[in-house]
A and B are shown apart, each in its own frame.
Chain A
Amino acid sequence: MTRKLLLANDHIEGIQSYDVYRKNGGYAAVEKALKSMSPDDIVEEVKKSGLRGRGGAGFPTGMKWSFLAKPEGVPRHLLCNADESEPGTFKDRYLMEKIPHLLIEGMILSSYALGANQSYIYIRGEYMYVLRILEKAIQEAYNNGWLGKNILGSGFDLDLAVSPGAGAYICGEETALIESLEGKRGNPRMKPPFPAVQGLWQRPTVVNNVETIAAVVPIINEGGDAYASIGIGRSTGTKLISASGNINKPGVYEIELGVSVEEFIYSDTYCGGIKNGKKLKACVPGGSSVPILPHYLVCKTAEGNDRLMTYESLADGGFATGSMLGSGGFIVYDEDQCIVRNTWNFARFYHHESCGQCSPCREGTGWMKKVLHNIETGKGKMEDIDLLWEIQSKIEGNTICPLGDAAAWPVAAAIRHFREEFEWHVKEPILSQERNYGLVSEKKFENVNA
Chain B
Amino acid sequence: MEENTNIEFPKELLDEVQRVISLFPEGKQKSALIRVLHIAQAHFGWLNADVMDYVARLLHIQPIEVYEVATFYSMYDTQKVGKVKLEVCRTGPCMIEGAEKIISYIEKKLGIKEGETTSDGIFTLKAVECLGACGYAPMLQAGEKYHEHLTEDKVDALIEQYRNHPSANYMGQNND
Q: Which residues of A contact B (CB under 8 A)?
A: 75, 84-90, 92-93, 97, 118, 124-129, 132, 159, 161, 163-169, 180-186, 201, 242-246, 250-252, 284, 288, 329, 331, 333, 337, 341-342, 345-346, 349, 352-353
Contacts and interface: CB of A to CB of B under 8 A. Distances in A.
Contacts of A87: 91-93, 129-130, 134
Contacts of A88: 92-93, 130, 134
A28 to B, nearest CB: 28
B13 interface: no
B85 to A, nearest CB: 11
Given A129-B145, A129-B172, A163 B35 contact: yes
Given A185-B69, A353-B129, 10 more contacts: A90-B135, A90-B136, A126-B132, A165-B73, A180-B34, A183-B30, A251-B135, A337-B96, A342-B92, A349-B91
A181 B29 CA distance: 11
B51 to A, nearest CB: 15
Contacts of A183: 30-34, 59, 61, 65, 69
A380 B91 CA distance: 22
Contacts of B92: 87-88, 284, 288, 331, 342, 345-346, 349
B78 to A, nearest CB: 12
A125 B75 contact: yes
A75 B28 CA distance: 14
Interface of A is mostly: mixed
A84 B68 CA distance: 23
B34 A90 contact: no
Interface string B39-75: 0000000000000000000010100010011001111
A87 B135 CA distance: 11
B69 A129 contact: no
B136 A250 contact: yes
A163 B37 CA distance: 12
A252 B135 contact: yes
B144 interface: yes
A93 B95 contact: no
Nearest to A128: B144
A85 B132 contact: yes
Nearest to B72: A185
B76 interface: yes
A125 B37 CA distance: 11
B141 A126 contact: yes
Contact of B74 (A166, A331, A349): A166
Instruction: Tell which of B24, B136, B141, B145 has the most Cβ of chain A within 10 Å.
Output: B24
Given A87-B129, A88-B92, A333-B96, A161 B23 contact: yes
B69 A242 contact: no
B133 interface: yes
Nearest to A118: B25
B34 A245 contact: no
A167 B172 contact: no
B113 interface: no
Contact of A349 (B30, B130, B144, B173): B130
A-B pairs with lowest CB-CB distance, top 9: A166-B73, A167-B74, A167-B75, A250-B135, A183-B33, A183-B30, A161-B23, A244-B134, A185-B72
Contacts of B132: 84-85, 89-90, 92-93, 124, 126-127
B163 interface: no
Contacts of B24: 161
Nearest to A346: B92
Contacts of A86: 130
B28 A166 contact: no
B96 to A, nearest CB: 6
Interface in B83-125: 90-93, 95-97
A245 B129 contact: no
Given A85-B130, A93-B132, A125 B38 contact: yes
B34 A163 contact: yes
Contact of A126 (B30, B76, B96, B131): B131
A118 B74 CA distance: 28
A159 B174 CA distance: 27
Contacts of A168: 72-74
Nearest to B69: A185
Instruction: Tell which of B59, B65, B69, B72 has the most Cβ of chain A within 10 Å.
Output: B72
A184 B69 contact: yes
A357 B34 CA distance: 21
A288 B95 CA distance: 13
A56 B28 CA distance: 30
B172 A132 contact: yes
A352 B129 CA distance: 9
Instruction: Tell which of B65, B93, B96, B133 has the most Cβ of chain A within 10 Å.
Output: B93
